[in-house]
Amino acid sequence: MKPDRTCGVRSSSAASGARSSGSSGLTAAQLAVRVALARVSGIGRHRWEQLMARFESPENVLGASVRELAEVPDVGLAIAQAIARADVGQAAQLVNRVEEMGGAVLVLEDQRYPPMLAEIPDPPLVLFALGRMELLQQPAVAIVGSRSHTRYGAEVCRHFASGAVRYGLVVVSGMARGIDTVAHTAALEAGGGTIGVLANGFGVVYPASNRALYDRIAKNGCLVTEEEPGEPPYEGSFPKRNRLISGLARVTLVVEANGRSGALITAGRALQQGRDLLAVPGPITSTASAGCNRLIQQGAKPALGLRDLLEEYGISLDGVASARLPSDLTERERRVLELLNDGAAHVDELAARLNAGAAETLAVLTSLEIRGLVSQEGKIFARRSPGSLLEPML
């Protein structure tokens, strides 16, 4: 689905204005002032820009009188009084707390702030990040779906997530149960990058069952949130998170969603932000795919294979050899893939050519199948084309 490009996207000139300093070289004092102002309830991008147009800098805003602040269009007395009460000391403590956790506090002026996210109408004025922040600068795809998924949904998700990272994309998702967890895990297992967008602050793991995944992404991927450390999720934090998921990516892909899935909210936000929307079709008899099928009916582009996704990024598929293989493949796994380049083979044939036992060979093949690199039909295995979900879908 192609979005209405006139709705929900700022111009490139506005984007450059919002990040006018183009530098991450703020002093601790300057960062604390910006965080203090951003924490004032009612201050979003629009009012921030109104204040900057009048006072030129956050320091000048905090130094202005209530009367001067209230005269700014769309500010008013209540917000002016709140600005006057802004606590720079508390903001500095917040920054220190995040940095002590190994994270960073990013404001729109920071070069590390995700450029795609900076383009949406309502970006967080302050974004907390933990992990490999260079991933925030790389092309990304948001992969979302229902918390309760089918086997088909999980297979589809693994295919797209593992394939996307092999072609240099970063996978963004929301750290929830179900499809989100499958997407993050598949990206990591394929040796790629993933960004987990939290509905809570650092130090809180939700759901608790994702503790290991949380730690793994903090080390090998990147976690981001606009909630302060220790803040648990609340009713309104999930829709807020959804706009960040779609905002971080050029394309949002819904792999499996029923008619009431929260993934449909993310899909809607993607269109509002001027981003492209893809959906994976499912059986018309399956309620688990009702949301995806409806999105396609309404104009979302059907995602029938990895090729459809990569086309959105101008990436062409020139066969299996063009895909970047995960860097952490074992020598045995690489050898199996080399053998399968000659065509599909029975597990016993592969075992003989590897001079290995059938059980050992099957374990290697199973690992490669989980990572989306091979497909299985009975005891016959084939190298999976990166451009297709199933072998006939080239």
Q: Domains (ranges, CATH) in the chain?
A: 134-311 (3.40.50.450), 320-383 (1.10.10.10)
Place 322 in a pLDDT band, splitting at 50, 70 and 90: very low
Output the six-digit token pair for 66. 């209530």
Burial class (CB in 10 A: 0-12, 13-18, 19+), 152: middle
pLDDT over threshold 70, residue 136 = yes
Contact 266, 252 (CB under 8 A): yes
CA 136 – CA 138 distance, rounded (Å): 6
Write down the pLDDT at residue 388: 45
pLDDT over threshold 80, residue 7 = no
Write down the pLDDT at residue 355: 80
pLDDT over threshold 70, residue 17 = no
Write down the pLDDT at residue 218: 97
**What is the arithmetic mean of pLDDT over 216-220?**
97
SS3 of residue 348 by DSSP: helix
pLDDT over threshold 50, residue 123 = yes
What one-letter code names the amino acid at 376? Q
Write down the pLDDT at residue 172: 99
**What is the arithmetic mean of pLDDT over 86-104?**
96
Q: pLDDT of 28-37, one tens digit each? A: 999 999 999 9
Cis geometry, peptide bond prior to residue 207 (ω within 30 degrees of 0): yes
**What is the arithmetic mean of pLDDT over 217-227?**
98
SS3 of residue 376 by DSSP: strand
Reference 114, options 17, 30, 224, 201; nearest CA is 224
pLDDT over threshold 80, residue 11 = no
Place 8 in a pLDDT band, splitting at 50, 70 and 90: very low
Q: Is the model more confident about 3 or about 283?
A: 283
**What is the arithmetic mean of pLDDT over 9-18?**
31
**For the whole model, what pTM was predicted?**
0.77
pLDDT over threshold 70, residue 347 = yes
For the chain, what is the mean pLDDT? 87
Output the six-digit token pair for 164. 């996307």
**What is the arithmetic mean of pLDDT over 199-222?**
96
Reference 386, options 227, 158, 181; nearest CA is 158
CA distances from 221 to 118, 142, 181, 188, 217 (A): 20, 14, 13, 8, 4
Place 145 in a pLDDT band, splitting at 50, 70 and 90: very high
